[in-house]
């Protein structure tokens, strides 16, 4: 999850540099489009990292819950945090996909 957060901040920085209203990278539109697409790809990787972390914990919770050798006082259930993590990772994936696909190609 920490890797996802670090990648998310990196993607925000890269995507901000690729915006049309910034002066980073000059006025070359193709260069800015590639920078914005790179930010979108990093957002997708960050979303996948968050999805893997949440799903891994979810699998561990389900496995421990149905294990007959696990004591009753140690069994966990899904809480709101795991659902927020899944929804957040889905939104980051969607945002990264939209940012990557919205960039114009070379004309």
Residue 93: pLDDT above 80?
Answer: yes
Contact 100, 41 (CB under 8 A): yes
Share of residues in the chain with pLDDT > 90 (%): 57
Burial class (CB in 10 A: 0-12, 13-18, 19+), 44: buried
Q: Span 68-95, mean pLDDT?
A: 91
> The domain 2-101 is classified under which CATH number: 1.25.40.20, 1.10.8.420, 1.10.3720.10, 1.20.140.150?
1.20.140.150
Question: With bands split at pLDDT 50, 70 and 90, how would you rate the model's confidence at 88?
Answer: very high
Predicted local distance difference test score (pLDDT) of residue 104:
67
Q: Is 27 helix (H, G, I), strand (E, B) or coil?
A: coil
pTM for the model stands at 0.86
pLDDT digits (tens, 9 = 90+) for 17-67: 888 888 776 777 888 888 889 999 999 999 999 999 999 999 999 998 898
The whole-angstrom separation of Cα 107 and Cα 86 is: 38
Look over the chain and give the mean of its residue pLDDT values, rounded to a whole number: 89
pLDDT at 107: 52
């Amino acid at each position: 999850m920490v890797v996802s957060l670090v990648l998310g901040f990196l993607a925000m920085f890269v995507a901000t540099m690729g915006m049309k209203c910034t002066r980073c990278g000059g006025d070359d539109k193709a260069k800015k489009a590639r920078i914005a697409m790179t930010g979108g790809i990093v957002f997708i990787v960050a979303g996948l990292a968050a999805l893997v972390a949440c799903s891994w914990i979810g699998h561990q919770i389900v496995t421990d819950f149905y294990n007959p050798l696990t004591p009753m006082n140690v069994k966990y259930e899904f809480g709101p945090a795991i659902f927020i993590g899944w929804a957040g990772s889905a939104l980051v994936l969607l945002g990264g996909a939209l940012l990557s696909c919205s960039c114009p190609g070379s004309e």
